[in-house]
Every structure is written in C-alpha cells, then in structure tokens.
C-alpha cells in the first residue's frame, strides 16, 4: 500500500484513478484492487496486451467494482495479429483500444508488422469511437508518422510517457493526453521531469503500469495500483501544485477520457 509516511498528507486522503495497470486474474487481482481501494484508488483500467490478456481483463472488470478493461495487441505481440480483438470492443467493460503502438527497443515483432498492426488498431478506435492507448518506445518518429497518416483518434493517450518536452509537444499538438508512470519518480529521468513540469493539467493522467515500474520508494518491487499516489505526488512537486489538485484533476481527466461516447 501507499504508506502514509512516504506521502504528503493530501496524497493519502485524495481519490486516485490508475488509468493503466495489468492485474493478475483471479484472487491476486482482486486483492490488488482491494489494497488500491484502501489507498484511495477507486478507479482502475486493466489493460489488454493480446487477445487472451484482453479477455482476462474483461473478466476481471466484470467481477470487480471500479475496474474497466481495454482490448488490444501490444507491439511485442504484433506478429500474432489482431484477429478477435474487434469482437471484444462490443463488450460493455471495454473502454479503449490498446495498448498498441511501436517498440523498437526490443523488436519482439518485426517493425513492419508492428507498424501495420498499430495502424489497424488506430482504425478500430476510429470505427468504434473508442480511446486509443499508445505504447511507444524508441519509435517516436514512426509513431507520429502513422498517427498523421491514419488520423489521431479524438481520444488518444500516450501511456507511460518516456519522452521529453519535444515529444510531449508533438503529442499534445495532435490532441493527445500524456500519462505519467513511476518513471517520473526516478532521479535520473531528467528529460521526463522537464516535460512533466510543463504538461497542461487538463491533459495529464497518472498510472502505475503495475506490476512494472514501481515508483520510488518502492522501486525494484512488483508495482501496485495502490502506489499511483506516489506518481501523483511527484507530478504535484514538479508542477508546484497541491497534491489534492493533481489527484482531482487527473481523476476527472481519466473519467472523461474513458467515458462512453455520447
């Protein structure tokens, strides 16, 4: 949990929205959601990364209050294609397409396949008027080229943002929002800190990406949705704002972003 001693007082009393995490199915996921609720996290998005994982996320969202799901194919799994994903978008628990995008750091799928699968999922977001959740790593230029070619969906988020002010400006210019993870608490993430200082408050989300990227002071442990307050507290510090303002703003930003289309 988010220990009170590690956080400002207003971080422990605020409500939070973890807009991107990966819950284990079954009792372990339910326990993580319960711990998050105790820490003031009353909304979570369980993010799909392939067909099976998307189905699991939907099942978890059906079972647990405050949890919604996404359906999509991560660039690591792009070689498997997106067959079956579109059918899942009709499920009421699904609030977005993704995570999808490009990852040129690991190249677990060939880059041309990644690009094609990313473009196809942009098309699904347009066709179903759903938000798009983007993962991009060491692939900024191609990410923006594909978005410009296919058209950036009206609700697009760059999850676990790792860029600097320049990449943030390009994303914001396309109407996207920026989601900050535990990386923003890392001392060496200086370019990310520069971006975080200038991100407009109404275009900002916070996330854990649990079980990955645990924030300081929990770095090196399996991450928890309960720890999203550490991300929000660091964002507040960088922006010179009260933590309560960041908590409430990011909660409403995510609530509007993932709400069903009118």
The CATH number of residue 143's host domain is 3.20.20.140
Residue range 155-166: mean pLDDT, rounded: 98
Question: Do residues 242 and 8 touch, judged by C-beta distance below 8 A?
Answer: no
Q: What are phi and psi of 106, to 5 degrees?
A: -95, -30
pLDDT for 262 equals: 66
Task: Write down the mean pLDDT value for the chain.
Answer: 96
* Cis preceding linkage at 94, omega within 30: no
Q: Is the pLDDT of residue 51 over 90?
A: yes
Question: Do residues 232 and 14 touch, judged by C-beta distance below 8 A?
Answer: yes
Strand, coil or helix: 81: coil
Q: What is the pLDDT of residues 1-28, one digit of tens each?
A: 345 557 877 777 899 999 999 999 999 9
pLDDT for 11 equals: 78
Question: Do residues 156 and 134 touch, judged by C-beta distance below 8 A?
Answer: yes
Q: What are phi and psi of 134, to 5 degrees?
A: -105, 135
In a domain, 148, yes or no: yes
In a domain, 18, yes or no: no
With a pLDDT cut of 90, the percent of the chain lying above it is 94
With a pLDDT cut of 70, the percent of the chain lying above it is 98
pLDDT for 7 equals: 80
pLDDT for 13 equals: 82
pLDDT for 182 equals: 98
In the 8-state DSSP scheme, what is residue 132? E
In a domain, 30, yes or no: no
In a domain, 225, yes or no: yes
Residue range 36-64: mean pLDDT, rounded: 98
Q: What is the pLDDT of residues 24-44, one digit of tens each?
A: 999 999 999 999 999 999 999
Q: What is the pLDDT of residues 205-248, one digit of tens each?
A: 999 999 999 999 999 999 999 999 999 999 999 999 999 999 99
Element (H, E) at 255: helix 243-258
Comparison of pLDDT for 199 and 3, the residue scoring more: 199
pLDDT for 2 equals: 46
Element (H, E) at 203: none
Cα–Cα distance for residue pair 129/259, rounded to 1 Å: 11
Residue range 89-112: mean pLDDT, rounded: 98
In a domain, 153, yes or no: yes
Residue range 63-75: mean pLDDT, rounded: 98
Number of domains in the chain: 1
Domain that holds residue 248: 39-258
In a domain, 116, yes or no: yes
In a domain, 52, yes or no: yes
| Cα 189-191-194 angle, rounded to 5 deg | 110
Q: Is the pLDDT of residue 54 over 60?
A: yes
Q: What is the largest CA-CA distance in the chain?
A: 48
DSSP H helical ranges for 9-80: 9-13, 27-38, 51-63
In a domain, 26, yes or no: no
Q: How far from 203 is each of 148, 172, 180, 198, 228, CA to CA, in Å? A: 20, 8, 11, 11, 17
């Amino acid at each position: 949990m988010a220990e009170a001693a590690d956080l400002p007082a207003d971080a422990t009393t605020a409500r939070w929205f973890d807009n991107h995490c990966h819950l284990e199915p079954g009792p372990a996921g339910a326990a993580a959601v319960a711990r998050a609720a105790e820490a003031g996290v009353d909304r979570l998005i369980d993010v799909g990364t392939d067909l099976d994982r998307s189905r699991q996320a939907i099942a978890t969202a059906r079972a647990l209050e405050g949890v919604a799901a996404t359906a999509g194919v991560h660039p690591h799994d792009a070689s498997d294609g997106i067959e079956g994903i579109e059918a899942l978008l009709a499920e009421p628990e699904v609030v977005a397409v993704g995570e999808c995008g490009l990852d040129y750091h690991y190249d677990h799928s060939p880059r041309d396949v990644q690009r094609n699968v990313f473009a196809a999922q942009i098309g699904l977001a347009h066709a179903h008027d759903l938000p798009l959740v983007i993962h991009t790593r060491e692939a900024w230029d191609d990410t923006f080229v594909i978005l410009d070619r296919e058209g950036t969906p009206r609700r697009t988020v760059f999850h676990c943002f790792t860029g600097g002010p320049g990449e943030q400006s390009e994303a914001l210019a396309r109407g996207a929002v920026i989601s900050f993870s535990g990386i923003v608490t890392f001392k060496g993430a200086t370019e990310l800190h520069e971006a975080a200082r200038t991100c407009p408050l109404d275009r900002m989300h916070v996330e854990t990406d649990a079980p990955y990227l645990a924030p300081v002071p929990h770095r090196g442990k399996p991450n928890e949705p309960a720890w999203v307050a550490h991300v929000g507290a660091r964002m507040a510090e960088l922006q010179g704002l009260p933590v309560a303002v960041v908590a409430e703003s990011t909660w409403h930003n995510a609530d509007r972003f993932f709400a069903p289309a009118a």
